[in-house]
Amino acid sequence: MFKKLFVIAIVAGFAVLLWSYLRHYTERTTLNDLSTYYVDNTAQEIGAANVVTAIVVTYRGFDTLGEVTILFVAASLIAMFLKSMGTEKSRNPRPASLILVTAQKLLFPLILIFGVYIFINGHLTPGGGFQGGSVIATGFLLWLMANPDGHAPKGLLNTIESISGFGYVAAGLFGLALGLGFLDNRFLGLGTLGHLFSAGVIPIIYSFIGLKVGAELSNVLHHLNEIQNEE
């Protein structure tokens, strides 16, 4: 009883905080200085049509490197905790329905291609490496549902992940070596605004991020699927 009152008091206190924010809230009508700089200079400095991508990959590229690292650490933690303990029993899962299996055969390549499309066009349209990688992982989830006993190509996934992580850092260091700065995108030439081959090294970095995120999330899904085989 006392505990329940305590919880309600905490939630009510939080609600009062949020309400006091909402009461004095007025809609902004102008961008602040930093956003104005990003929006006005992206076209000349970065050459990417999507301003959010320019911020994520170049202006705050170091931040994104940290984000990729966090995802990598999370995936490694899961792989460490869920390593099978050797007490595997054969589960004999109910086979997936015919509809799911047939649809998966048709949809799996399409979903992969859609994911690749999203991260290759990350600098032109809404999308990017993280979104494309997540779409690829959903395709992999569909595959796991259709083949509950299937074994994922773990070695291939790990290789893709390592190569793309290495490529991301290498692309950053390459900019540094040419005297421009870590993760600077300009050493490839900016191209024409709005074309696929534009914005310097951004499409390459975003493709690396997309492959890495896709492989990592697929690995996580695979590990979470595998624990069902344990006792």
Of 51 and 112, nearer to another protein (C-beta) is 51
Say whether residue 157 binds another protein (CB under 8 A).
no
d(CA 68, CA 39): 25
The pattern of x and - marking residues 168 through 207 that bind another protein according to CB under 8 A reads -------------------------xx-------------
Cβ atoms 183, 58 nearer than 8 A:
yes
Binding residue for another protein (CB under 8 A) from 4, 89, 94, 151? 4
Say whether residue 128 binds another protein (CB under 8 A).
yes
Of 3 and 179, nearer to another protein (C-beta) is 3
d(CA 228, CA 88): 9
Binding residue for another protein (CB under 8 A) from 100, 108, 112, 134? 134
The Cα angle at residue 74 between residues 71 and 77, in degrees rounded to 5: 150
Q: What does the buried/exposed string (b/e) look like for 173-207 if buried means 16 or more CB atoms within 10 Å of the residue's CB? A: ebbeeeeeeebbbbbbebeebeeeebbbbbbbbbb
Q: Which tokens go with 215? A: 């492989």
Say whether residue 103 binds another protein (CB under 8 A).
no
- The terminus-to-terminus CA distance of the chain in angstroms comes to 39
Query: Where does this chain touch another protein (CB under 8 A) — which range of 25-33, 143-151, 175-183, 195-203?
Result: 25-33
Of 45 and 174, nearer to another protein (C-beta) is 45
Sequence-separated (6 or more) residues with CB below 8 Å from residue 94: 148
Give the interface with another protein as residue ranges (CB under 8 A).
4, 7, 10-11, 14-15, 18-19, 22, 25-29, 31-32, 34-36, 38-40, 42-43, 49-52, 55-56, 60, 63-64, 67, 70-71, 73-75, 77-78, 81-82, 124-126, 128, 130, 134, 193-194, 213, 217, 220, 224, 227, 230
